[in-house]
Amino acid sequence: MKHIDILVNEYFDKAVSDLASLIQINSEYDSSTADALKPFGNGAALSLEKFLLLAESDGFTTKNIENYAGYAECGTGDLIGILAHLDVVPVGNMDKWKHNPYDAVIDNNKMYGRGTTDDKGPLIAAYTALHILKNNYKLNKRFRIIAGCDEETSMRCLKRYKETEEIPVFSFSPDASFPAVNGEKGQIQIALTREFVHQGHEPIKLLGLTCGQVVNIVPDEAVAYFSGNIAMLKRQLEEIAGDDLEIEYFEEKYLKVTAFGKQMHSMNAPDGINAMYKLFKYLAHPDLDYGPWELMHWIRSMALIFDDKNIARNLSINFKDEFGELTINLGLLRYKSKDLQIHFDIRYPVTMKPSKFEAKLPLITEKLMMLGQIKKHIEPLYVDEHNIYLQELLKAYNAITNEEAKPITIGGRTYCTSMPNAVSFGAKFPQDEELAHQSNEYLDLDNFKKMIKIYLQALININNLDV
Protein backbone atom coordinates (compact mmCIF):
# COMPACT_ATOMS: atom_id res chain seq x y z
CA MET A 1 0.00 0.00 0.00
CA LYS A 2 1.28 3.45 -0.91
CA HIS A 3 1.99 5.91 1.88
CA ILE A 4 -0.72 8.50 2.58
CA ASP A 5 1.55 11.36 1.43
CA ILE A 6 2.06 9.71 -1.95
CA LEU A 7 -1.63 8.98 -2.42
CA VAL A 8 -2.69 12.52 -1.55
CA ASN A 9 -0.09 14.00 -3.90
CA GLU A 10 -1.47 11.87 -6.74
CA TYR A 11 -5.01 13.19 -6.23
CA PHE A 12 -4.21 16.73 -5.20
CA ASP A 13 -4.33 18.54 -8.55
CA LYS A 14 -7.75 17.03 -9.20
CA ALA A 15 -8.90 18.16 -5.76
CA VAL A 16 -7.88 21.76 -6.53
CA SER A 17 -9.67 21.60 -9.88
CA ASP A 18 -12.79 20.08 -8.30
CA LEU A 19 -12.88 22.81 -5.68
CA ALA A 20 -12.47 25.59 -8.26
CA SER A 21 -15.42 24.24 -10.23
CA LEU A 22 -17.64 24.57 -7.15
CA ILE A 23 -16.32 27.97 -6.07
CA GLN A 24 -17.19 29.35 -9.51
CA ILE A 25 -20.89 28.71 -8.82
CA ASN A 26 -22.68 31.32 -6.73
CA SER A 27 -24.72 29.13 -4.39
CA GLU A 28 -26.20 31.78 -2.09
CA TYR A 29 -29.83 31.28 -1.13
CA ASP A 30 -31.80 33.08 -3.85
CA SER A 31 -35.47 33.68 -3.10
CA SER A 32 -36.01 35.21 -6.55
CA THR A 33 -35.36 31.86 -8.27
CA ALA A 34 -36.53 29.50 -5.53
CA ASP A 35 -39.50 27.29 -6.37
CA ALA A 36 -40.81 23.77 -5.72
CA LEU A 37 -38.13 22.18 -7.90
CA LYS A 38 -35.28 24.37 -6.66
CA PRO A 39 -36.18 25.24 -3.05
CA PHE A 40 -33.09 27.38 -2.45
CA GLY A 41 -32.73 28.91 -5.90
CA ASN A 42 -30.82 28.24 -9.10
CA GLY A 43 -27.30 28.59 -7.70
CA ALA A 44 -27.70 26.05 -4.91
CA ALA A 45 -29.30 23.54 -7.29
CA LEU A 46 -26.54 24.04 -9.86
CA SER A 47 -23.85 23.56 -7.21
CA LEU A 48 -25.44 20.31 -6.03
CA GLU A 49 -25.77 19.08 -9.61
CA LYS A 50 -22.08 19.83 -10.22
CA PHE A 51 -20.98 17.93 -7.11
CA LEU A 52 -23.13 14.89 -7.89
CA LEU A 53 -21.91 14.75 -11.51
CA LEU A 54 -18.35 14.95 -10.23
CA ALA A 55 -18.94 12.08 -7.79
CA GLU A 56 -20.75 9.98 -10.36
CA SER A 57 -17.86 10.34 -12.79
CA ASP A 58 -15.51 9.14 -10.00
CA GLY A 59 -17.52 5.95 -9.50
CA PHE A 60 -19.70 6.88 -6.52
CA THR A 61 -23.36 6.01 -6.15
CA THR A 62 -25.25 9.33 -6.03
CA LYS A 63 -28.71 10.64 -5.24
CA ASN A 64 -30.28 14.08 -5.54
CA ILE A 65 -32.91 14.60 -2.82
CA GLU A 66 -35.20 17.10 -4.55
CA ASN A 67 -32.41 19.71 -4.65
CA TYR A 68 -32.54 19.98 -0.86
CA ALA A 69 -29.44 17.82 -0.50
CA GLY A 70 -27.64 14.98 -2.20
CA TYR A 71 -25.14 12.29 -1.42
CA ALA A 72 -22.23 10.32 -2.85
CA GLU A 73 -21.72 6.82 -1.42
CA CYS A 74 -19.37 3.88 -1.60
CA GLY A 75 -18.71 0.64 0.32
CA THR A 76 -20.82 -1.84 2.28
CA GLY A 77 -21.71 -2.27 5.93
CA ASP A 78 -22.57 0.25 8.64
CA LEU A 79 -23.31 3.70 7.25
CA ILE A 80 -20.86 6.49 8.17
CA GLY A 81 -21.92 10.01 7.26
CA ILE A 82 -19.82 13.00 6.26
CA LEU A 83 -21.96 16.12 6.56
CA ALA A 84 -20.98 19.17 4.51
CA HIS A 85 -22.74 22.00 2.70
CA LEU A 86 -22.62 23.67 -0.67
CA ASP A 87 -24.50 26.89 0.07
CA VAL A 88 -22.63 30.07 0.98
CA VAL A 89 -23.36 33.41 2.63
CA PRO A 90 -23.50 36.63 0.58
CA VAL A 91 -20.15 38.12 -0.44
CA GLY A 92 -20.97 41.56 0.99
CA ASN A 93 -19.16 44.60 -0.38
CA MET A 94 -17.37 43.49 -3.55
CA ASP A 95 -14.92 46.39 -3.23
CA LYS A 96 -13.41 44.68 -0.18
CA TRP A 97 -12.42 41.57 -2.13
CA LYS A 98 -8.91 41.26 -3.51
CA HIS A 99 -10.21 38.94 -6.23
CA ASN A 100 -13.68 38.21 -7.57
CA PRO A 101 -15.19 35.82 -5.00
CA TYR A 102 -16.50 33.50 -7.74
CA ASP A 103 -13.37 33.28 -9.90
CA ALA A 104 -11.44 30.83 -7.67
CA VAL A 105 -8.22 32.78 -8.24
CA ILE A 106 -5.03 31.19 -6.86
CA ASP A 107 -2.68 33.86 -5.55
CA ASN A 108 0.43 33.12 -3.45
CA ASN A 109 -0.67 29.48 -2.97
CA LYS A 110 -4.11 30.56 -1.73
CA MET A 111 -7.41 30.01 -3.50
CA TYR A 112 -9.67 33.01 -2.99
CA GLY A 113 -13.43 32.69 -3.14
CA ARG A 114 -16.67 32.52 -1.24
CA GLY A 115 -16.95 29.02 0.19
CA THR A 116 -13.27 28.10 0.06
CA THR A 117 -13.26 27.57 3.83
CA ASP A 118 -17.02 27.44 4.50
CA ASP A 119 -17.69 24.82 3.35
CA LYS A 120 -16.82 23.81 -0.22
CA GLY A 121 -13.08 23.50 0.49
CA PRO A 122 -13.54 21.14 3.46
CA LEU A 123 -16.22 19.23 1.52
CA ILE A 124 -13.82 18.57 -1.34
CA ALA A 125 -11.02 17.70 1.10
CA ALA A 126 -13.22 15.03 2.70
CA TYR A 127 -14.52 13.91 -0.70
CA THR A 128 -10.98 13.53 -2.06
CA ALA A 129 -10.00 11.50 0.99
CA LEU A 130 -12.99 9.21 0.44
CA HIS A 131 -12.16 8.93 -3.26
CA ILE A 132 -8.63 7.80 -2.34
CA LEU A 133 -9.99 5.32 0.22
CA LYS A 134 -12.45 3.88 -2.31
CA ASN A 135 -9.81 3.35 -4.95
CA ASN A 136 -7.02 2.01 -2.72
CA TYR A 137 -8.49 0.21 0.31
CA LYS A 138 -10.94 -2.60 1.02
CA LEU A 139 -14.07 -0.94 2.35
CA ASN A 140 -15.55 -2.41 5.53
CA LYS A 141 -18.08 0.38 5.99
CA ARG A 142 -20.46 2.38 3.82
CA PHE A 143 -19.33 5.97 3.58
CA ARG A 144 -21.77 8.65 2.45
CA ILE A 145 -20.92 12.31 1.87
CA ILE A 146 -24.16 14.20 2.44
CA ALA A 147 -24.06 17.64 0.80
CA GLY A 148 -26.76 20.11 1.82
CA CYS A 149 -27.89 23.35 0.21
CA ASP A 150 -29.40 25.29 3.13
CA GLU A 151 -26.98 25.15 6.05
CA GLU A 152 -26.44 28.90 6.19
CA THR A 153 -30.12 29.76 6.59
CA SER A 154 -32.43 27.17 8.17
CA MET A 155 -30.91 23.69 7.59
CA ARG A 156 -34.09 22.61 5.81
CA CYS A 157 -31.83 20.47 3.63
CA LEU A 158 -30.84 18.11 6.44
CA LYS A 159 -34.39 18.04 7.76
CA ARG A 160 -35.59 16.79 4.39
CA TYR A 161 -32.75 14.26 4.26
CA LYS A 162 -33.79 12.81 7.63
CA GLU A 163 -37.41 12.50 6.47
CA THR A 164 -36.55 10.25 3.54
CA GLU A 165 -33.08 8.75 3.92
CA GLU A 166 -31.08 6.39 6.13
CA ILE A 167 -29.52 7.82 9.29
CA PRO A 168 -25.79 7.02 9.70
CA VAL A 169 -24.57 5.19 12.81
CA PHE A 170 -21.98 7.96 13.14
CA SER A 171 -21.29 11.19 11.27
CA PHE A 172 -18.67 13.89 11.23
CA SER A 173 -18.86 17.32 9.66
CA PRO A 174 -15.84 19.14 8.14
CA ASP A 175 -17.47 22.48 8.92
CA ALA A 176 -15.85 23.77 12.09
CA SER A 177 -12.41 23.36 13.65
CA PHE A 178 -9.66 20.88 14.33
CA PRO A 179 -8.72 18.90 16.35
CA ALA A 180 -12.36 17.76 16.87
CA VAL A 181 -15.47 19.35 18.33
CA ASN A 182 -17.56 17.54 20.92
CA GLY A 183 -19.60 20.55 22.05
CA GLU A 184 -21.55 23.24 20.18
CA LYS A 185 -23.22 26.13 21.95
CA GLY A 186 -26.96 26.62 21.83
CA GLN A 187 -28.18 29.15 19.28
CA ILE A 188 -31.15 31.48 19.56
CA GLN A 189 -32.17 34.07 17.00
CA ILE A 190 -34.53 36.80 18.18
CA ALA A 191 -36.54 39.30 16.14
CA LEU A 192 -37.63 42.57 17.78
CA THR A 193 -39.86 45.35 16.51
CA ARG A 194 -40.94 48.83 17.50
CA GLU A 195 -42.77 51.77 15.94
CA PHE A 196 -41.60 55.39 16.23
CA VAL A 197 -43.97 58.21 15.37
CA HIS A 198 -42.74 61.30 13.49
CA GLN A 199 -43.84 64.52 15.17
CA GLY A 200 -43.80 66.29 11.81
CA HIS A 201 -41.83 69.40 12.77
CA GLU A 202 -38.28 68.13 13.45
CA PRO A 203 -35.64 70.39 11.84
CA ILE A 204 -33.49 67.30 11.21
CA LYS A 205 -35.10 63.90 10.60
CA LEU A 206 -33.55 60.45 10.76
CA LEU A 207 -35.21 58.78 7.78
CA GLY A 208 -33.54 55.37 7.75
CA LEU A 209 -31.12 52.99 9.41
CA THR A 210 -29.73 49.80 7.96
CA CYS A 211 -27.03 47.24 8.68
CA GLY A 212 -26.32 43.62 7.91
CA GLN A 213 -27.34 41.09 5.29
CA VAL A 214 -27.75 37.95 7.41
CA VAL A 215 -28.16 37.62 11.15
CA ASN A 216 -25.17 35.34 11.73
CA ILE A 217 -22.53 37.79 10.49
CA VAL A 218 -21.15 40.76 12.42
CA PRO A 219 -21.99 43.66 10.06
CA ASP A 220 -19.04 45.72 8.88
CA GLU A 221 -21.17 48.65 7.63
CA ALA A 222 -24.11 50.51 9.15
CA VAL A 223 -25.83 53.44 7.45
CA ALA A 224 -28.10 56.28 8.54
CA TYR A 225 -29.96 58.71 6.26
CA PHE A 226 -31.04 62.20 7.32
CA SER A 227 -33.09 65.04 5.82
CA GLY A 228 -33.74 68.62 6.89
CA ASN A 229 -30.93 70.91 8.03
CA ILE A 230 -28.29 68.43 6.92
CA ALA A 231 -25.54 71.05 6.46
CA MET A 232 -25.55 71.72 10.19
CA LEU A 233 -25.67 68.01 11.01
CA LYS A 234 -22.77 67.37 8.65
CA ARG A 235 -20.62 69.96 10.44
CA GLN A 236 -21.50 68.50 13.84
CA LEU A 237 -20.68 64.95 12.80
CA GLU A 238 -17.39 65.97 11.16
CA GLU A 239 -16.27 67.43 14.48
CA ILE A 240 -16.68 64.07 16.27
CA ALA A 241 -15.96 61.64 13.42
CA GLY A 242 -13.10 59.18 13.50
CA ASP A 243 -11.63 57.12 10.68
CA ASP A 244 -14.51 54.66 11.06
CA LEU A 245 -17.20 57.18 10.01
CA GLU A 246 -17.97 58.51 6.52
CA ILE A 247 -20.27 61.51 6.01
CA GLU A 248 -21.48 62.48 2.55
CA TYR A 249 -24.39 64.07 0.73
CA PHE A 250 -26.75 61.63 -0.96
CA GLU A 251 -28.90 62.69 -3.92
CA GLU A 252 -28.18 66.32 -2.86
CA LYS A 253 -31.06 66.59 -0.36
CA TYR A 254 -30.06 63.81 2.05
CA LEU A 255 -27.10 63.12 4.32
CA LYS A 256 -25.67 59.61 4.35
CA VAL A 257 -23.68 58.59 7.43
CA THR A 258 -21.79 55.28 7.32
CA ALA A 259 -19.97 53.58 10.20
CA PHE A 260 -17.43 50.85 9.49
CA GLY A 261 -16.49 47.80 11.53
CA LYS A 262 -14.93 44.38 11.05
CA GLN A 263 -16.94 41.49 9.63
CA MET A 264 -16.90 38.22 11.55
CA HIS A 265 -18.97 35.04 11.89
CA SER A 266 -21.34 35.61 14.80
CA MET A 267 -20.00 32.53 16.62
CA ASN A 268 -16.89 34.69 17.16
CA ALA A 269 -18.77 37.97 17.58
CA PRO A 270 -16.36 39.43 20.19
CA ASP A 271 -13.53 39.19 17.62
CA GLY A 272 -15.42 41.36 15.14
CA ILE A 273 -16.33 45.03 15.27
CA ASN A 274 -20.06 45.60 14.87
CA ALA A 275 -20.59 48.69 12.71
CA MET A 276 -24.08 49.21 14.16
CA TYR A 277 -22.65 49.61 17.65
CA LYS A 278 -20.26 52.22 16.23
CA LEU A 279 -23.13 54.07 14.58
CA PHE A 280 -25.18 54.01 17.80
CA LYS A 281 -22.31 55.70 19.63
CA TYR A 282 -21.92 58.45 17.05
CA LEU A 283 -25.65 59.15 16.79
CA ALA A 284 -25.92 59.22 20.59
CA HIS A 285 -23.52 62.16 20.90
CA PRO A 286 -25.14 64.85 23.15
CA ASP A 287 -24.43 67.63 20.63
CA LEU A 288 -26.72 66.00 18.05
CA ASP A 289 -30.43 66.82 18.01
CA TYR A 290 -32.74 65.17 15.51
CA GLY A 291 -36.11 63.48 15.25
CA PRO A 292 -38.10 61.52 15.76
CA TRP A 293 -37.01 62.49 19.27
CA GLU A 294 -38.32 59.25 20.72
CA LEU A 295 -36.02 57.40 18.33
CA MET A 296 -33.06 59.64 19.22
CA HIS A 297 -33.50 58.87 22.91
CA TRP A 298 -33.81 55.15 22.13
CA ILE A 299 -30.53 55.29 20.19
CA ARG A 300 -28.84 56.95 23.16
CA SER A 301 -30.03 54.11 25.39
CA MET A 302 -28.78 51.51 22.89
CA ALA A 303 -25.34 53.15 22.77
CA LEU A 304 -25.02 52.44 26.48
CA ILE A 305 -26.12 48.81 26.15
CA PHE A 306 -24.10 47.92 23.06
CA ASP A 307 -20.63 48.87 24.22
CA ASP A 308 -18.94 45.83 22.58
CA LYS A 309 -17.44 44.44 25.79
CA ASN A 310 -20.32 44.15 28.23
CA ILE A 311 -23.40 43.63 26.07
CA ALA A 312 -24.42 40.31 27.65
CA ARG A 313 -23.97 41.77 31.13
CA ASN A 314 -25.96 44.87 30.23
CA LEU A 315 -28.80 42.61 29.06
CA SER A 316 -28.48 40.40 32.18
CA ILE A 317 -27.61 37.31 30.12
CA ASN A 318 -23.88 37.06 30.89
CA PHE A 319 -23.81 33.26 31.30
CA LYS A 320 -20.71 31.09 30.99
CA ASP A 321 -19.44 27.62 31.85
CA GLU A 322 -16.19 25.68 31.58
CA PHE A 323 -16.64 25.43 27.81
CA GLY A 324 -17.24 29.11 27.04
CA GLU A 325 -19.44 32.16 27.52
CA LEU A 326 -22.57 33.55 25.91
CA THR A 327 -22.04 35.81 22.89
CA ILE A 328 -24.53 38.10 21.16
CA ASN A 329 -24.59 39.71 17.73
CA LEU A 330 -26.91 42.34 16.32
CA GLY A 331 -26.81 41.05 12.76
CA LEU A 332 -29.68 42.90 11.08
CA LEU A 333 -31.31 46.29 11.65
CA ARG A 334 -33.83 48.05 9.44
CA TYR A 335 -35.58 51.36 10.14
CA LYS A 336 -37.69 53.19 7.56
CA SER A 337 -40.53 55.63 7.96
CA LYS A 338 -41.59 54.57 11.46
CA ASP A 339 -40.95 50.82 11.71
CA LEU A 340 -37.81 49.42 13.34
CA GLN A 341 -36.74 45.76 13.13
CA ILE A 342 -33.72 44.14 14.77
CA HIS A 343 -32.47 40.55 14.59
CA PHE A 344 -30.02 39.07 17.08
CA ASP A 345 -27.98 35.88 16.92
CA ILE A 346 -27.05 34.56 20.38
CA ARG A 347 -24.82 31.57 21.23
CA TYR A 348 -25.18 30.29 24.78
CA PRO A 349 -23.07 27.83 26.83
CA VAL A 350 -23.21 24.07 26.30
CA THR A 351 -24.37 23.22 29.83
CA MET A 352 -27.03 25.94 30.05
CA LYS A 353 -30.63 24.71 30.04
CA PRO A 354 -32.50 26.11 27.02
CA SER A 355 -35.54 26.92 29.17
CA LYS A 356 -33.38 29.13 31.38
CA PHE A 357 -32.45 31.32 28.45
CA GLU A 358 -35.95 31.44 27.01
CA ALA A 359 -37.16 32.69 30.40
CA LYS A 360 -34.86 35.71 29.93
CA LEU A 361 -36.56 36.93 26.76
CA PRO A 362 -39.05 39.27 28.51
CA LEU A 363 -36.16 40.92 30.36
CA ILE A 364 -34.22 41.41 27.12
CA THR A 365 -37.17 42.97 25.30
CA GLU A 366 -37.85 45.22 28.29
CA LYS A 367 -34.28 46.52 28.36
CA LEU A 368 -34.37 47.14 24.61
CA MET A 369 -37.82 48.69 24.83
CA MET A 370 -39.13 46.56 21.98
CA LEU A 371 -41.47 43.66 21.26
CA GLY A 372 -39.69 40.41 20.51
CA GLN A 373 -40.04 36.75 19.68
CA ILE A 374 -37.74 33.77 19.19
CA LYS A 375 -37.40 32.95 15.49
CA LYS A 376 -34.95 30.07 15.75
CA HIS A 377 -33.65 27.92 18.59
CA ILE A 378 -31.14 25.09 18.31
CA GLU A 379 -30.24 23.49 21.61
CA PRO A 380 -26.61 22.79 22.61
CA LEU A 381 -24.75 19.69 21.45
CA TYR A 382 -22.42 17.65 23.63
CA VAL A 383 -20.81 14.27 22.84
CA ASP A 384 -18.78 12.47 25.49
CA GLU A 385 -15.07 12.79 24.73
CA HIS A 386 -14.66 9.01 25.14
CA ASN A 387 -16.98 8.28 22.20
CA ILE A 388 -15.20 5.56 20.19
CA TYR A 389 -15.62 7.29 16.82
CA LEU A 390 -14.52 10.65 18.22
CA GLN A 391 -11.38 9.03 19.56
CA GLU A 392 -10.51 7.68 16.10
CA LEU A 393 -10.85 11.18 14.62
CA LEU A 394 -8.53 12.58 17.29
CA LYS A 395 -6.01 9.81 16.66
CA ALA A 396 -5.99 10.69 12.96
CA TYR A 397 -5.50 14.41 13.61
CA ASN A 398 -2.73 13.80 16.13
CA ALA A 399 -0.99 11.27 13.87
CA ILE A 400 -0.77 13.72 10.96
CA THR A 401 0.07 16.81 13.02
CA ASN A 402 2.24 15.15 15.71
CA GLU A 403 0.12 16.74 18.43
CA GLU A 404 -1.67 15.43 21.51
CA ALA A 405 -4.80 17.53 21.08
CA LYS A 406 -8.07 17.11 22.95
CA PRO A 407 -11.62 17.85 21.75
CA ILE A 408 -12.92 21.41 21.96
CA THR A 409 -16.23 23.31 22.22
CA ILE A 410 -17.25 26.01 19.72
CA GLY A 411 -19.87 28.72 19.33
CA GLY A 412 -20.71 27.74 15.75
CA ARG A 413 -23.64 25.57 14.74
CA THR A 414 -23.24 22.70 12.30
CA TYR A 415 -25.30 19.86 10.89
CA CYS A 416 -24.18 17.79 13.87
CA THR A 417 -26.89 19.35 16.01
CA SER A 418 -29.49 17.74 13.73
CA MET A 419 -27.93 14.29 13.35
CA PRO A 420 -27.52 11.71 16.15
CA ASN A 421 -24.02 10.64 17.19
CA ALA A 422 -22.28 13.36 15.17
CA VAL A 423 -19.29 15.63 15.80
CA SER A 424 -17.53 18.35 13.83
CA PHE A 425 -14.02 17.54 12.63
CA GLY A 426 -12.06 20.38 11.02
CA ALA A 427 -11.38 22.10 8.87
CA LYS A 428 -9.97 25.26 10.46
CA PHE A 429 -6.60 24.66 12.13
CA PRO A 430 -6.10 26.12 15.62
CA GLN A 431 -3.44 28.61 14.54
CA ASP A 432 -5.38 29.97 11.53
CA GLU A 433 -7.47 33.12 11.43
CA GLU A 434 -11.22 32.80 11.06
CA LEU A 435 -12.14 33.45 7.42
CA ALA A 436 -15.68 32.06 7.22
CA HIS A 437 -18.27 34.70 6.25
CA GLN A 438 -15.59 37.34 5.69
CA SER A 439 -14.35 39.31 2.71
CA ASN A 440 -11.29 37.80 1.01
CA GLU A 441 -12.13 34.31 2.22
CA TYR A 442 -9.38 32.00 1.02
CA LEU A 443 -8.02 28.49 1.45
CA ASP A 444 -4.30 27.98 1.89
CA LEU A 445 -3.44 25.09 -0.45
CA ASP A 446 -0.85 23.62 1.92
CA ASN A 447 -3.57 23.44 4.54
CA PHE A 448 -5.90 21.94 1.94
CA LYS A 449 -3.45 19.11 1.36
CA LYS A 450 -3.03 18.57 5.10
CA MET A 451 -6.82 18.42 5.51
CA ILE A 452 -7.03 15.65 2.93
CA LYS A 453 -4.35 13.67 4.75
CA ILE A 454 -6.15 14.03 8.07
CA TYR A 455 -9.49 13.02 6.59
CA LEU A 456 -7.94 10.07 4.81
CA GLN A 457 -6.31 8.82 8.01
CA ALA A 458 -9.60 9.30 9.86
CA LEU A 459 -11.51 7.31 7.24
CA ILE A 460 -8.91 4.54 7.40
CA ASN A 461 -9.27 4.43 11.19
CA ILE A 462 -13.06 4.25 11.04
CA ASN A 463 -12.97 1.76 8.18
CA ASN A 464 -10.87 -0.58 10.35
CA LEU A 465 -12.96 -0.04 13.48
CA ASP A 466 -14.64 -3.23 14.72
CA VAL A 467 -17.91 -2.09 16.34
Just list the catalytic residues.
Answer: 87, 151
Q: Do 131 and 461 touch, CB atoms closer than 8 A?
A: no
Residue 419's nearest CA partner among 22, 81, 50, 114 is 81
Angle at 95 between CA 89 and CA 96, to 5 degrees: 65
CA 392 to CA 408: how far, in whole Å? 15
CA 140 to CA 436: how far, in whole Å? 35
Residues 6+ apart with CB under 8 A from 374: 188, 189, 190, 358, 361
Give the three-state DSSP class for 212: coil
CA 137 to CA 206: how far, in whole Å? 66
Residues 6+ apart with CB under 8 A from 94: 100, 101
Q: Do 174 and 425 touch, CB atoms closer than 8 A?
A: yes
Distances from the Cα of 25 to the Cαs of 15, 71, 174, in angstroms? 16, 19, 20
Distances from the Cα of 338 to the Cαs of 199, 249, 333, 396, in angstroms? 11, 22, 13, 57
